[in-house]
Structure 1
Amino acid sequence: MTTLVNLCGKAKNMIVVTGATGGLGGATVEHLLRRVPADRIGVSVRDPGRARHLADRGVRVRQGSYEDPAALRDSFAGAEQVLLVSGNDPAADMVGLHRRAVEAAVEAGAHRILYTSQHGAVPGNPYRPSDVHLATEAILGASGAAWTALRNGAYGPLDQVLGPWQRTGVIAKPEDGPVPYTDRADTAEATAAVLAGDRRFDGPVNLTAPAAVTFDDLAGIASDLTGRTIARVVLDDDQWIADQIATGVPEQMARLMLTYYQAARAGYFAEADPLLAELLGREPHTVADRLAADLAA
């Protein structure tokens, strides 16, 4: 069971964020800068040169990567909290790399480790990255440090999720199921709120949009926004794999993505959670909001 701990009045020290030149990590740091002094923020990045814009604003920038535990320990030094942004290289031993990062944070004396996990990371989920997240959460649980797993809803750009629907008028994907597609900007803002605020969560928590939708729902929303009929076409799994390979997608990657659709249709992502809205203090962006913004861009 998730436990909410009130830390009002406790002295707050440095927050270190990994992956701060990436999309989620970088946006999280930007939101942190609006909440806490820059000298309380550190980042651990592969290439410090790419974080010059943060150093110029007073953020502590140190080199570190999950492949280099010694550098990680140095980049985590003095941190009360460390945010570990999960890796996503399907060819790498991500569990082993995450283990090194957790161990480095513990050795550096971090009091709390936060980890960007995945919504629906439960046993039996056929989407393979779920296994990585579950294994990493187990490592966190055995680490001896306080920890929080932010199980983020799918926050990829909707044009990547839906394909070229604006050009074709069709959302042609395998059979799916309800998913609370979440805005990455909202996820980053909520992550910064957890890092900077007086609320601490022990164990896993879900950060998702407030409603789960299907491709049928999205086709209807897109039709309303554009004033033209956007069709939803369900593709056979094997045919979709063959089509992906024909367009140059590596077969391993295509089969990995198919497990996502299989998990969605089995209901593993169906449960939405109100916590994201609570942390933001407002309603998160809906898929309709995001599609409208894409159309206006």
Structure 2
Amino acid sequence: MIVVTGATGQLGRLVVADLLARGVPAGQIVAAVRTPEKAADLAAQGVEVRRADYDDPQSLKDAFAGAQKVLLISASVVGQRVPQHKNAIDAAVAVGVPFLAYTSILNADTTGVALATEHKETEAHLAASGLAYALLRNGWYTENYTGSAAAAIAAGTVLGSTGTGRVGAVPRADYAAAAAAVLTTDGHAGKVYELAADEPFTMAEYAAELAAVSGQPVAYADLAADAYAEALTGFGLDAGYAAALADADLGIARGELVSDSGDLARLLGRPTTPLADAVRSAL
């Protein structure tokens, strides 16, 4: 039995779909979700739905009972992840889960990006837990950018603070497929996978791709981090999250969100999705 936490989230749904596509029987997949009603479509496919709230340790134990493998998808609320992840890891230990994979952040042990702090603490707790585990250190999603592609095209500008730094971003589907590969094959215990694009890109290159696909002029405007954070709050983002994204852009400028490990392509059994394909798909 394979348990996927956060299975109604954007990444979790893709993992469940990939498991089914790989031939894993629906009855051997558990969608562990905070709100089971939101997983009605998964239940209709035969996937077992169990309630799992990162803030409710007993619900996690119940959700993980009988699992051979658990995918712990990192929680979504920055600032609350460490206790929530610890609850999940401790629950896996309590019910005797043989293997757990955790979605961390690219280069977690070396990056200075502030968003990595909670992942580092989670990795440390996992290492001390006694569980057999693998770290899926996911890079950035291209959806982080293409989600606002229409607005960028309309404005003719992509904003950021990355300078000429490259980011190893790929679509969520690539990371989901990599997770499904780890969950359906053996030999991953103790592995640390640095997952990123084969061909990282700059924000100027991303803007050029938007222009090429849309036929409209689009350029990259590089801002100071505080100015970029201010712009993000103007677009409606929470101030704390906006600051974290601006900080991550500085990490990109330092070259901390790329990797030449080749791990993602090896897990996929194919090259990672190119930026051009991701942009065309998004538009």
TM-score by length of 1: 0.87
Q: Which residue of 1 aligns with 2:218?
A: 230
SS in 2 for 1:276: helix
Please state if 1:70 is matched with 2:32. Answer: no
Please state if 1:293 is matched with 2:266. Answer: no
* Aligned partner (choices 149, 156, 164) of residue 151 of structure 2: 164
Say if 1:210 and 1:284, in contact at 8 Å, map to a contact too: yes
Aligned residues: 280
Q: Which residue of 1 aligns with 2:237?
A: 249
* Aligned alpha-carbon RMSD (Å): 1.9
* Aligned partner (choices 116, 119, 134) of residue 106 of structure 2: 119
The answer to which of 282-291 and 245-254 deviates more is: 245-254
Report the AA paired with residue 92 of structure 2: A
Question: Quick check: which one's strand share is greater?
Answer: 1
The answer to which of 249-258 and 143-152 deviates more is: 249-258
1:54 is displaced (CA, Å) by: 2.1
Q: Which residue of 1 aligns with 2:139?
A: 153
SS in 1 for 2:63: helix
SS in 2 for 1:133: helix
Say if 1:126 and 1:259, in contact at 8 Å, map to a contact too: no
Q: Which residue of 2 aligns with 1:183?
A: 171
Identical aligned residues as a percent: 36
Report the AA paired with residue 190 of structure 2: D
The answer to which of 94-103 and 43-52 deviates more is: 43-52
Report the AA paired with residue 128 of structure 2: A
Distance 1:168 1:234, change over 3 A: same
Q: Deviations over 1:257-276 (max 9, x none)?
A: 11101111111113243222
Give every structure 1 segment of 4 or more consecutive aligned residues whose post-TM-superposition deviation is greater than 4 Å.
Answer: none
1:106 is displaced (CA, Å) by: 1.0
Whole-Å separation in 2 of the counterparts to 1:161 and 1:142: 40
Whole-Å separation in 1 of the counterparts to 2:209 and 2:142: 18
The answer to which of 210-219 and 158-167 deviates more is: 158-167
Report the AA paired with residue 252 of structure 1: G
TM-score by length of 2: 0.92
Q: Which residue of 2 aligns with 1:8?
A: none
Whole-Å separation in 2 of the counterparts to 1:262 and 1:243: 15
* Aligned partner (choices 107, 129, 141) of residue 94 of structure 2: 107
Whole-Å separation in 2 of the counterparts to 1:154 and 1:84: 18
User: 5+ residue gaps in structure 1?
Assistant: 1-13
Distance 1:270 1:161, change over 3 A: farther
Q: Which residue of 1 aligns with 2:126?
A: 140
SS in 2 for 1:115: strand
Q: Which residue of 2 aligns with 1:4?
A: none
Q: Which residue of 2 aligns with 1:41?
A: 29
Please state if 1:22 is matched with 2:9. Answer: yes
Distance 1:57 1:270, change over 3 A: closer
Say if 2:149 and 2:210, in contact at 8 Å, map to a contact too: no
Say if 1:172 and 1:234, in contact at 8 Å, map to a contact too: yes
Say if 2:225 and 2:250, in contact at 8 Å, map to a contact too: no
Whole-Å separation in 2 of the counterparts to 1:67 and 1:166: 40
SS in 1 for 2:129: coil
Q: Which residue of 2 aligns with 1:240?
A: 228
Say if 1:183 and 1:209, in contact at 8 Å, map to a contact too: no
Q: Deviations over 1:245-268 (max 9, x none)?
A: 344433222211111011111111
1:281 is displaced (CA, Å) by: 2.1
Distance 1:161 1:114, change over 3 A: farther
SS in 1 for 2:7: coil
